[in-house]
Amino acid sequence: MLLKTGILALCAFFAAAGCAGENSRINALVVTGQCNNSHNWAVSSEILKKTLEDTELFEVDMAVSPARGEDMSGFKPQFAKYDVVVLDYEGDEWPEETKKEFVDYVKNGGGVVVFHATDNAFPKWEEFNEIIGLGGWGGRDEKSGPMVRWRDDRVVYDETPGRAGTHPPSHDFQVINRDTEHPVTKGLPEKWMHTADELYSKLRGPAKNLMVLSTAYCDPKRRGGTGEHEPVLFTIDYGKGRVFHTVLGHVGPRDKAPIRCLDSVGFIVTFQRGAEWAATGKVTQKVPEDFPTADKVSVRKGYSAFEG
DSSP annotation string for the chain: -HHHHHHHHHHHHHHHHHHHHHHPPEEEEEEES---TT--HHHHHHHHHHHHHTTTSEEEEEEEPPPTTS--TT----GGG-SEEEE---SSPPPHHHHHHHHHHHHTT-EEEEEGGGGGS-TT-HHHHHHH--B-STT--GGG--EEEEETTEEEEE---S---B-PSSEEEEEEES-SSSTTTTTS-SEEEEEEE---BS-BS--TTEEEEEEEE--TTSTT--SSEEEEEEEEEETTEEEEEE-------TTT----GGGBHHHHHHHHHHHHHHHHS---PPPPTT---SS---B-TTTTS---
Q: Between 265-280 and 41-53, two packed helices, what is the crossing angle to 10 degrees?
A: 70
Q: Output the CA torsion 65→83→241→159 (10° steps).
A: -50
Is residue 105 scored above 70 in pLDDT?
A: yes
In this structure, what are the phi and psi dihedrals at residue 181, rounded to the nearest 5 degrees? Answer: -105, -10
Q: What is the mean pLDDT of the chain?
A: 90
User: Of 287, 282, 284, which is closest to residue 298 (Cα–Cα)?
Assistant: 287
Q: In this predicted structure, which of 7-11, 41-45, 144-148 has the lowest mean pLDDT?
A: 7-11
pLDDT digits (tens, 9 = 90+) for 25-45: 999 999 999 988 778 888 899
Q: What is the pTM assigned to this prediction?
A: 0.90
pLDDT at 254: 55
Is residue 8 scored above 70 in pLDDT?
A: no
In this structure, what are the phi and psi dihedrals at residue 271, rounded to the nearest 5 degrees? Answer: -65, -45
pLDDT digits (tens, 9 = 90+) for 68-79: 999 999 999 999
**Structure-model confidence comparison of residues 218 and 302, the more confident one:** 218
pLDDT at 253: 66
pLDDT digits (tens, 9 = 90+) for 265-308: 999 999 999 999 999 999 999 999 999 999 999 999 777 665 43
pLDDT at 77: 97
pLDDT at 255: 43
Is residue 9 scored above 70 in pLDDT?
A: no
Percent with pLDDT over 90 in the chain: 82
pLDDT at 305: 61
pLDDT at 252: 75
Is residue 20 scored above 60 in pLDDT?
A: no
Is residue 159 scored above 80 in pLDDT?
A: yes
Domains, the chain, with CATH or none: 27-65+80-280 (3.40.50.880)
User: Of 238, 244, 240, which is closest to residue 108 (Cα–Cα)?
Assistant: 240
Q: Do 48 and 271 form a contact (C-beta atoms < 8 A)? A: yes
